[in-house]
């Protein structure tokens, strides 16, 4: 995806994804006060002091992932939230989910990538914990790592549209992604109070 190679565009994508994850986390934090939630290996005892955006910035600064990795990592998080409805994304687990999803995405997408020990150091956790998080994340996804071009560009289209609405001078609506895709698909994450028909009540971009 050519546009993601633009550092300014990539910065805005990170900002947008961070804002979505923060909104979902805050919503689930609030919902969690009114009912019990299961604790997973991604759950920390305290909320990390670093913001979601700063954490993503740190990962992409040091890990040198391809721009497409962020989109695929986002898709993995969305997929994980659908398959694991009893483990909603919250401020207690979002950072570990982010570092794990990016690492798994890099391994699947990039020809060259850093090992688990490096990602553990970047993410501020131990290598042993990083290994454990990776395994749980893969099982949580059902090892469904493949992302079709249609799915990838659908997510790109939604992100592109949102960024263009915020910054129209830099992302004209006549770009190739905007023109070549069909109807946009909403990006969503399941919140802890969703019912089985959660797709009817989504947090959307």
Three-state DSSP string of 146-202: CCCHHHHHHHHHHHHHHHHHHCCCCCCCCCHHHHHCCCCCCCEECCCCCCCCHHHCC
Give the mean pLDDT of 8-19.
83
Round to whole Å and give the CA distance between 76 and 166.
Answer: 25
User: Greater confidence, 116 or 112?
Assistant: 116
Share of the chain above pLDDT 70, in %: 72
Question: Tell me, what's the pLDDT at 139?
Answer: 95
User: Greater confidence, 144 or 159?
Assistant: 144
Alpha-carbon torsion angle 100, 59, 29, 157, nearest 10 = -90
pLDDT, one tens digit per residue, over 123-155 is: 999 999 999 999 999 999 999 999 999 999 888
Q: Check if the beta carbon of residue 12 is closer than 8 Å to that of residue 167.
A: yes
- Encode 165-187: b = buried (16+ Cβ within 10 Å), e = exposed: eeeeeebeeeeebbeebeebeeb
Residue 68 has pLDDT above 90, yes or no: no
User: Greater confidence, 18 or 7?
Assistant: 18
Q: What is the pTM of this model?
A: 0.75
Cα angle 135, 139, 140 (rounded to 5 degrees) comes to: 110
């Amino acid at each position: 995806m050519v546009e993601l190679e633009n550092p300014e565009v990539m910065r805005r994508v990170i900002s947008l994804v961070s804002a979505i994850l923060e909104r979902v986390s805050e919503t689930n934090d609030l919902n969690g006060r009114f009912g019990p939630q299961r604790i997973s290996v991604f759950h920390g005892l305290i909320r990390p002091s670093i913001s979601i955006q700063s954490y993503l910035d740190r990962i992409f600064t040091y890990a040198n992932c391809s721009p497409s990795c962020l989109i695929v990592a986002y898709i993995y998080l969305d997929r994980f939230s659908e398959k694991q409805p009893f483990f909603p994304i919250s401020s207690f687990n979002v950072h570990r989910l982010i570092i794990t999803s990016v690492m798994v995405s890099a391994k699947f997408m990039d020809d060259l990538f850093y090992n688990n020990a490096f990602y553990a150091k970047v993410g501020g956790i131990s290598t042993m914990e990083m290994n454990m998080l990776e395994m749980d994340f893969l099982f949580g996804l059902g090892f469904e790592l493949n992302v079709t071009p249609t799915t990838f560009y659908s997510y790109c289209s939604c992100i592109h549209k949102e960024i263009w609405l915020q910054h129209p001078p830099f992302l004209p609506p006549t770009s190739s992604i905007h023109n070549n895709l069909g109807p946009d698909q909403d990006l969503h994450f399941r919140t802890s109070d969703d019912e089985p028909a959660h797709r009817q009540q989504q947090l959307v971009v």
